[in-house]
Structure 1
Amino acid sequence: MRAAGLRALCLSFPAAGEEFPFGPETSVFKVGGKMFALAALEARPLTVNLKCDPEDALRLRAAHPEAVVPGWHMNKRHWNTVTVSALPERLVRELVEDSYDLVVAGLPRAERLRLDRP
């Protein structure tokens, strides 16, 4: 997956948006005002910070130590930094969707219903 594909994937979810609070080189993808992905899309290798269940985060880091590490400049318990090119595209898609779903789950019920994700 390339940067354009990652960006398109992140923006494909309901009510997802892209912001640049850390400067023009860092894309922050949010839903309901909460971040679910952060990436420097021009960086090589392409990496993305994704929210993750703490137990799943540990499992993923153990299974893919070359591609999944504790989130850089993030809460290491809840965030992973994923090297996109080092994982199958299907797995990257699942990790991005899981991150989005975790953030949506923390939104108020009315907003979750509006997003059709109870």
Structure 2
Amino acid sequence: MNVEEIKQYCMGKENAYEDYPFGDIPICYRLNGGGIFAQVYPLEGDYKITLRCETEYGQFFRTAFPDIVVKGYHCPKMQQPYFNTVYLNDFEDSNLLLDMIDHSYNEVLKRLSKKKR
């Protein structure tokens, strides 16, 4: 998937918005002013996305796609099991990527207070 397709998909999520809390890169997608569910790094030579995940779900993909799906590369060690970074130049399954984005969105959604939901 290209950057525009990912942006469009993320922005299509209910109450999602684009944010740039760290500068131009990454492009972050947040939910209701709460947590970030996707961080897109649209660099040609280092095209990737970091997504929140439930630990077993994340480990499954890291095992199934070694060196393509890794623990959240930018996260402190204790947070790494809860994030996956997907190197998109080597990941060709668009439907699976959309499922991973959905999972991340749902993980952030369930962590929000009822008031923020």
What is the TM-score of this pair, normalised by structure 1? 0.87
Which residue of structure 2 aligns with residue 109 of structure 1?
Answer: 114
1:15-60 CA-to-partner distances (Å, cap 9, x unmatched) read: 1011111111320110022111111223434210000100111111
- Residues 1:87 and 2:92 aligned together: yes
In structure 2, what is the Cα distance between the partners aligned to 1:42 and 1:10? 18
**1:56-95 pair list within 5 angstroms:** 56-74=57-75, 75-85=79-89, 86-95=91-100
Deviation at 1:62, TM superposition (A): 0.4
Instruction: Please list every run of 5 or more consecutive structure 2 residues that lacks an aligned counterpart in the other structure.
Output: none
Q: Structure 1 vs Structure 2: percent identity of aligned residues?
A: 26
Secondary structure of the structure 2 residue equivalent to 1:103: helix
| Number of residues of Structure 1 aligned to a counterpart in Structure 2 | 112
What is the TM-score of this pair, normalised by structure 2? 0.88
**Which has the larger share of strand?**
2
